[in-house]
Amino acid sequence: MARRIRFIEALREGMRQEMERDPSVFIMGEGVGPHGSAFKQTDGLCAQFGEERLRDTPISELAIAGTAVGAAMMGMRPIADLMWIDFSMLAMDQICNQAAKLRYISNGQVKVPLVYRMSTGKSKSNAAHHSGSFYSWFINTPGLKVVLPSTPNDAKGLIISAIRDDDPVIYLEHKLLFNVRGDVPEEPFAIPLGVAEVKREGTDLTIVATGAMVGFSLTAAEALAKEGISVEVIDPRTLMPYDGATILTSVRKTGNLLCVEEGFRYCGFGSEIIAFVVENAMDSLRRPPRQLTTMHTTIPFSPPMEDYVFPNPERVAAAVRALLKSEA
Amino acid sequence: MARRIRFIEALREGMRQEMERDPSVFIMGEGVGPHGSAFKQTDGLCAQFGEERLRDTPISELAIAGTAVGAAMMGMRPIADLMWIDFSMLAMDQICNQAAKLRYISNGQVKVPLVYRMSTGKSKSNAAHHSGSFYSWFINTPGLKVVLPSTPNDAKGLIISAIRDDDPVIYLEHKLLFNVRGDVPEEPFAIPLGVAEVKREGTDLTIVATGAMVGFSLTAAEALAKEGISVEVIDPRTLMPYDGATILTSVRKTGNLLCVEEGFRYCGFGSEIIAFVVENAMDSLRRPPRQLTTMHTTIPFSPPMEDYVFPNPERVAAAVRALLKSEA
Amino acid sequence: MDNAMKVRLLETMLNIRKAELQLAILYKNGKVPCAAHLYEGQEAIAAGVCAQLRVDDCLTSTHRGHGHCIAKGMPMKEMIAEVCARKTGCCGGKGGTMHLFKPDIGVMGTIGIVGAGIPVATGIALAMKMQKTDRVAVSFFGDGAANNGAFHESLNLASVWKLPVIFVCENNRYATSVAVWRSTSVEKIGDRAASYSIPGVTVDGNCVDEVYAATEAALSRARTGQGPTLIEAVTYRVRGHYEGDDAAYRKQGELTEAREHDPIEYWKQKLIEDGVLREEDFAALAAKAEAEAEEAAAFAVDSPFPAPEEALILTAQI
Amino acid sequence: MDNAMKVRLLETMLNIRKAELQLAILYKNGKVPCAAHLYEGQEAIAAGVCAQLRVDDCLTSTHRGHGHCIAKGMPMKEMIAEVCARKTGCCGGKGGTMHLFKPDIGVMGTIGIVGAGIPVATGIALAMKMQKTDRVAVSFFGDGAANNGAFHESLNLASVWKLPVIFVCENNRYATSVAVWRSTSVEKIGDRAASYSIPGVTVDGNCVDEVYAATEAALSRARTGQGPTLIEAVTYRVRGHYEGDDAAYRKQGELTEAREHDPIEYWKQKLIEDGVLREEDFAALAAKAEAEAEEAAAFAVDSPFPAPEEALILTAQI
Ligand SMILES: Cc1ncc(C[n+]2csc(CCOP(=O)(O)OP(=O)(O)O)c2C)c(N)n1
Ligand SMILES: Cc1ncc(C[n+]2csc(CCOP(=O)(O)OP(=O)(O)O)c2C)c(N)n1
Ligand SMILES: [Mg+2]
Ligand SMILES: [Mg+2]
């Protein structure tokens, strides 16, 4: 039975249900225990499962990530909360050199079923060290899967899949989405990794957007509809492996592609999708594809500057208009 | 006066001449001192400049990278040798959160003129933890410049520019190139960052290749010439900021684009260049662009498997033929 | 320590306290665009350390760095304006509460990543040494940071190279919601100095005289080429981790007890007992600090925001 | 320690030595496709620690990990074949000299990144504890790794959580070309245990009995829920950092001196003195180990390489 709950509740419910189902699942991170995490993602779970399974850690990102690897190899299913994605830079070796690789180099003798959860993206003046969205690094790393839900329903279905997956999964939580509400089934369900969702159908142009950019794009699509422009919005949901087929189908229909991407442009997910589409369906593109990303700068603190560098719904709409006006 | 020397000698000469010119330049890293570095890059420099300026360090990548940041802010020009790029994963926070950002967030009150040197890429069975080429992460990070020379001449001219630059530069040394010989002027000279070089002119297809892929592409071009296929080979040399104009000019001439990239495909430099070209010059492309990259897998140890996953000259040639045979 | 210094320490602590309390108000009034980590209750540490630093000595600090900036000489206006995201702030609004710089007086950055300032300070000290000066670098960081790899690698390197750096660990008993004993395997963080063959002391961080004395010793070591020192200053974080945190995780009575050991109150009493200060002198100093803080707050609020496009200045072509 | 154990320790050391010497030959003959880091001279540590481990205890190790695998029970053939990049190797040729696994006997990976095995072992111990077993994890690492943040963060965490893990630091006096005193700020790395409120000992790593005794104590702590122990075993790296390294950076006479304190020779003499062994017994054991190593080398060289396409097995769809 579905009911309207917040993103963060859906995420929590997914974790709770998996912890009830599978005693090998546990959560570790700074403040995940009695305090219930930085954004209250694990609120109440410690009361239910105890401190053995909601393990507060020191500020030791490398050890958190590496301890998760060791535990996962032994049959546990750790969920390691690294708080902000920005802090994962301290744990890249364990994430990308160890978690991602040990199954392969051991020739399949070990597997590393774990989830690294990280909050990502813009919020209010989080500034240079707390606004990261460099998940393209994880996408670039063989052995990792990357998930970025945009709705409460996806948050729940994807965390469950991430936990059940036998390989390491990066699960990204966009800070602007925690309080967004949506319909979510009460019972456990899994959204398969690697499957996109068409969040809005349209005929004139395909937007590929993830995380908070999905909502921005839907808002823009609404406005553009009034101008007679019909936009299709696709949310890959899983960024690695991404659902190329759904994207190609859409582009073949609309003939136009805009990627709306919160990460940076160079070697980012937007560039990846554009490259993928032209390599595989250039003939179906009526105009050059475009991308709207965060400007290539360290993130400034002050709101006017911060707002200036990020995408927003108006900018998405403007990018669509510009693209459709460009030479065919 | 130019003479034929090896890549590693050219690199060393560039460092030596800058150290002679500017007392604020120094080198730090594991074994850079009396031993002369893992690949002998600094051989003899310690004898000339002493241990004060060739500083052996503990195996503390985070502290090496961070110490370089602090020293750079105070007017020194550190060259920090992180050995293999793979180990830089332990230093990502200092490289990408600190070195890259402090000039910006301080509003220009400090600058961070330093060079992070790293060896990169395939060598002989270096296996999963010593074969990295994930420099796309650095390309993705505002505030960093990224350099990857393919010839002795470029190695010298680019290390000199990197040292003189007022912002942090990632200087990549491809392991397969250390012993390659080429003409290099004896006197100091700087190759400006951000300027590509056309390494071979051609009319039928543009290859964009970096590092060891440049040589592979030139070999392939040679073979293809005998088949009547004229390939232009462009080496961006600086991967960030890359020289888009030179690439576009070439693609406008040839109408075809192949990126040959040793890094991984997803969110890699190859995807970036393809996206850039179609965003800016799709109309000039006669056929869908393609990329040849290392296969998306952890790098295996055993030579047959290792050879299988990397690009080589034959594969480059095959990719060119396939592209030119594909539907226009 | 002469009487002038005694009074100066009090003044610095008052300046910090009043500035932070202004920020708390500004935060409540929506003038600070994000959660800020205030330094109330820890003032004796910044004051006791920085009082002895020269203007050309340098520091790095953390997410909880306002106090260190004030103590090192940053005008309140510039600090508060930055936290309020104004163009007149010390970083023109680019940095914000966790990223404060003023290198011309040695504020080489408060840094938002826990522990990240420690290697940076180590590098600053390396430059100072290579440049053959007798300048000194100070790294302020929390108890939580002492469990991070950056701490270990930096202290080892600084010791091996005998760098002029003082590592000041402010043990305020919490790292976010996690009490220090739940995450830290050693009773006294100061004892970790032994792992690096450097002196380590643990002092009462609410007693500015203790902090001062420990710093004095560390400074003289650093200036004379004898290398780094680790100072653990034990204190208590009387506010939440950030403004808005209700800190429900505190132990019963803990806060009240800490409030009774207020560093300003302690020092005031001491100076009165010593005959250096009268109640009314204190009131005057407090009023002066408060006025300055109010003025700084008004300055900040009256200051313009940066223009949006300023975001792209200094971004070079990349 | 009973006589059977005494002999077993000798056998293990001989097995490691002979296997490594075979690898040195294989390397010279071009059968090892990359530089390998050999363990000669450090055998007493792997042997002394692993002799007391159960098959369901686990270890992680380093780039210099062949010896630990042998000591934990990996057949020489599988180890040597892997180092020679053959399909019959313990990882089918995917791992190589720095990446050896055999989880069914507790070899949870030798890891090419210095220090990276330490948190992994900590996590293994966490699982063992959460699964309510009395299994124990061991992390072998070098003196160089003890200066890496991974060491600090892991020992702190393991102590706070009282995990059943033994940290074995093999101080072979060098990290690549850098002598330990040039990079390490403490005389005895074992003393760093104090930073984590755990026992730390420094033993002669060339005396297998000392290693054995230290491990015995650590194991009993670990098995009974008392938490981790740090053991520093001082030894000497008698070969270059890797095969092909001429180690010109050694101090005059250092190597000769170290060779005189060979762990196998030491233990052999001891057993002879104790009447446990005769010269001819030793010769027989050495011959047996050598034969096994030669056989393993022949097996490796005769084994096929993996097919190129096997590279993509286990790569899933991503
Ligand atoms: C590397 C890193 N991990 C986590 C965080 C989130 N975080 C910010 S402050 C903080 C607690 C810091 O505790 P401590 O070092 O004791 O400083 P205090 O807040 O007590 O001043 C944490 C976990 C961060 N900013 N950086
Ligand atoms: C993080 C990291 N930094 C550097 C290296 C390169 N490297 C490989 S072995 C080694 C020395 C290791 O010294 P130690 O830990 O003492 O082990 P030993 O070689 O003496 O057995 C270094 C620097 C690496 N593999 N990983
Ligand atoms: Mg604290
Ligand atoms: Mg060593």
Between CA C156 and CA B200 the distance in angstroms is: 50
How large is the average pLDDT for residues D285-291?
98
Q: Is the pLDDT of residue D317 over 70?
A: no
Do B92 and B135 belong to one domain? yes
CA C12/CA C70 separation, integer angstroms: 8
Q: Which residue, among A129, A119, A134, has the nearest Cα to A31 in the 3D structure?
A: A119
Model confidence at B328: pLDDT above 80:
no
Helix or strand holding residue A48 (H, E): helix A45-49
Among chain C, residues having any CB pair with chain D shorter than 8 Å are 147-153, 155-156, 159-160, 182-187, 191-192, 194-198
| Residue A242 included in any domain | yes
Q: Quick one: average pLDDT of C124-132?
A: 98
Going by alpha carbons, the residue nearest to atom 25 of ligand 2 is D113
* Centroid of chain to Cα A238: 7
SS3 of D265-305: the string is HHHHHHHHHCCCCCHHHHHHHHHHHHHHHHHHHHHHHHCCC
Which regions of chain D does DSSP assign to beta strands (E)? 58-61, 107-110, 137-142, 165-171, 174-175, 178-179, 200-204, 229-234
Q: Are D127 and A74 in contact (CB under 8 A)?
A: yes
In a domain, residue B57? The reply is yes
With a CB cutoff of 8 Å and minimum separation 6, the contacts of C80 are: C19, C22, C23, C26, C89, C293, C296, C297, C299, C300
Report the nearest-CA residue for atom 8 of ligand 2: D114
| B298, part of any domain | yes
Q: How far is B82 from chain A (nearest CA, A)?
A: 14
Q: Are B234 and B198 in contact (CB under 8 A)?
A: yes
Cα separation, A139 vs A148, in Å, equals 12
Best residue for ligand 1 mutational test, from C60, C63, C113, C153 (most atoms within 8 Å of Cβ): C63
Claim to verify: residue A133 and residue A264 sit in the same structural domain? no
Domain containing residue A107: CATH number: 3.40.50.970
Ligand 2 atom closest to Cα of D171? 16
List CB contacts (< 8 A) between D58 and chain A.
74
Q: What is the tens place of the pLDDT at every residue in D94-108?
A: 999 999 999 999 999
In a domain, A192, yes or no: no
CB contact under 8 A, A69 and D119: yes
- Compute the distance from residue D249 Cα to the ligand 4 centre, in Å: 14
Q: pLDDT averaged over chain C?
A: 97
CATH number of B246's domain? 3.40.50.920
pLDDT at residue C315 tops 90: no
Are the beta carbons of A198 and A151 closer than 8 angstroms?
no
pLDDT at D318 over 50: no
Considering the domain architecture, whether residues B288 and B166 belong to the same structural domain is answered as: no
CB contact under 8 A, A129 and B97: yes
Whether residues A35 and A181 share a domain: the answer is: yes
Q: How many residues does chain C have?
A: 318
Q: How far does CA B283 lie from the centroid of its chain?
A: 30
Closest ligand 2 atom to D237 CA:
20
Q: Please tell me the distance from the alpha carbon of residue C186 to that of residue D74, in angstroms, as a whole number.
A: 38
pLDDT value of residue C316: 54
DSSP state of B83: E
* Residues B44, B46, B50: CA angle, nearest 5 degrees: 145
Virtual torsion, Cα B261, B263, B265, B268, nearest 10 deg: -90
- Interval A132-168: pLDDT, tens: 999 999 999 999 999 999 999 999 999 999 999 999 9
**CB spacing of C185 vs D160 below 8 angstroms:** yes
Q: How far is the CA of D98 from the centre of ligand 2 (A)?
A: 11
Alpha helices for D29-102 (secondary structure H): 43-50, 66-72, 76-83
Does residue A152 have a cis peptide bond before it, meaning omega lies within 30 degrees of 0?
no
Over range C276-300, report the average pLDDT. Answer: 98
Q: Residue C257: its pLDDT value, please?
A: 92
Numbers of helices and strands, H then E, in chain C = 11, 8
A217 and A165 inside one domain = no
Domain encompassing residue B221: 197-325
The minimum CA-CA distance between C267 and chain A, rounded to whole Å, is 33
Using the beta-carbon criterion (under 8 Å), do C197 and D186 form an inter-chain contact? yes
* Buried residues in D143-171 as b, exposed as e (16+ CB within 10 A): bbbbbbbbbbbbbbbbbbbbbbbbbbbbb
Does pLDDT of C317 surpass 70? no
> Residues 6 or more apart from A157 whose CB is under 8 A from it?
A14, A149, A189, A190, A191
When pLDDT is cut at 50, 70 and 90, the band that residue B327 belongs to is confident
Whether B80 shows a pLDDT value over 80: the answer reads yes
Q: Is the pTM of this model over 0.80?
A: yes
- Of A164, A185, A206, the position where a domain reaches its end is A185
A205-209: strand order across its sheet:
A197-200, A231-235, A205-209, A257-264, A290-294
Tell me what percent of the residues of chain D surpass a pLDDT of 70: 99
User: Residue D141: what residue type?
Assistant: F
- Name the helix (H) or strand (E) containing A271: helix A269-281
Same domain, A162 and A211: no
Kindly state whether residues A245 and A128 are assigned to the same domain. no
What is the pLDDT of chain A when averaged over all its residues? 98
CA angle A269, A272, A278 (to 5 degrees): 145
Residue to test with chain C: of A267, A302, A308, most C Cβ within 10 A: A302
Across the interface, whether the CB atoms of C175 and A30 are under 8 A apart is answered yes
Identify the domain boundary among B164, B185, B206. B185
Least CB–CB distance from A59: residue in C86, C94, C115: C115
Give the position of tokens 């990857």: B148
Cβ separation of A267 and B271 shorter than 8 Å? yes
pLDDT, mean of residues C217-245: 97
SS3 content of chain A, % helix, strand, coil (to 5): 40, 20, 40
Q: What is d(CA C7, CA C282) in angstroms, rounded to the nearest whole number?
A: 9
Q: Check D187 against C197: CB less than 8 A apart.
A: yes
Q: Is residue B192 part of a domain?
A: no
Whether C155 has a pLDDT exceeding 80, the answer reads yes
Band of residue A327 on the pLDDT scale cut at 50, 70, 90:
confident
Question: Same domain, yes or no, for B226 and B170?
Answer: no
* Residues whose CB falls within 8 Å of the CB of residue B215, separated by 6 or more in sequence, listed in order: B150, B177, B180
Contact B97, A86 (CB under 8 A): yes
Q: Are residues B26 and B123 in the same domain?
A: yes
- D190-206 pLDDT per residue, tens: 999 999 999 999 999 99
- Average pLDDT on B147-151 reads 98
Rounded to whole angstroms, how far apart are CA atoms A322 and D183? Answer: 58
CA angle at residue B61 from A239 to A29, to 5 degrees?
50
Ranges A310-314, A323-327, B274-278, C272-276: which has the least confidence: A323-327
Contacts of D94 in chain A (CB under 8 A): 104-107
Q: What is the pLDDT of residues D220-273, one digit of tens each?
A: 999 999 999 999 999 999 999 999 999 999 999 999 999 999 999 999 999 999
| Domains parsed from chain C with CATH numbers | 3-298 (3.40.50.970)
Asked whether residue A150 is assigned to any structural domain, the reply reads: yes
Contact D85, D43 (CB under 8 A): no
Q: Which residue's alpha carbon is nearest to atom 25 within ligand 1?
A: C113
Give the alpha-carbon dihedral of D191, D196, D201, D205, to 10 degrees. -90
Which residues on B lie below 8 Å from C131 (Cβ)?
74-76
- B38 CB near ligand 2 (under 6 Å): no
CB-based contact C310:A301 (threshold 8 Å): no
The span from the CA of D249 to the CA of D181, in Å, is 14
Tell me the mean pLDDT in the region C35-58. 98
Whether residues B162 and B35 fall in one domain? yes
Is residue B190 assigned to a domain?
no
Clarify whether residues A171 and A206 are in a common domain: no
Provide mean pLDDT across the span C115-139: 98
Mutate to test the interface with A, among D101, D118, D152, D162 (most CBs of A within 10 A): D101
Q: Is residue D316's pLDDT more than 70?
A: no
- Residue C314 — pLDDT band, cuts 50, 70, 90? confident
What is the identity of the amino acid at C229? T
User: Who surrounds ion ligand 4 at CB < 5 A?
Assistant: D 142-143, 172, 175
Cβ pair D150:C149 closer than 8 A: yes
Residue labelled with tokens 């040597």: D80
pLDDT tens per residue across span B98-140: 999 999 999 999 999 999 999 999 999 999 999 999 999 999 9
Domain finish residue from B185, B205, B221: B185
Chains touching C (3+ CB pairs < 8 Å): A, B, D
Q: Which candidate from C147, C307, C310 shows the least CB-CB separation from A60?
A: C147
Q: Which residues pair with A183 in a beta bridge?
A: A4
Mean pLDDT, residues D136-152: 98
Q: Which residue in A199, A210, A196 sits closest to A294, CA to CA?
A: A210
**In chain C, which residue ranges form alpha helices assigned H by DSSP?**
3-28, 43-50, 66-72, 76-83, 117-130, 149-160, 180-183, 208-223, 254-260, 263-273, 279-302
Which of D38, D39, D114, D189, when mutated, tests ligand 2's pocket best, judged by the most ligand atoms within 8 Å of its CB?
A: D114
* Beta carbons of C53 and C223 less than 8 angstroms apart: no
* Domains held by chain A: number: 2
The residues near C50 (Cβ < 8 Å, ≥ 6 apart) are: C12, C59, C68, C71, C72, C73, C138
Q: Are A147 and A85 in contact (CB under 8 A)?
A: no
Distance from CA of D32 to the nearest CA of C (A): 34
Residue A191 lies in a domain: no
The answer to whether residues A177 and A201 belong to one domain is no
**Could you say which residues from 222 to 241 on chain D have a Cβ atom under 8 Å away from some Cβ of chain A?**
none
Q: Is C139 on the interface with B (CB under 8 A)?
A: no
Please give the DSSP secondary-structure letter assigned to residue A97.
I
ipTM of the complex: 0.98
Quote the pLDDT of residue B1: 82
DSSP 3-state of B228? coil
Give pLDDT, residue C318: 47
Establish whether A130 is a catalytic residue: yes
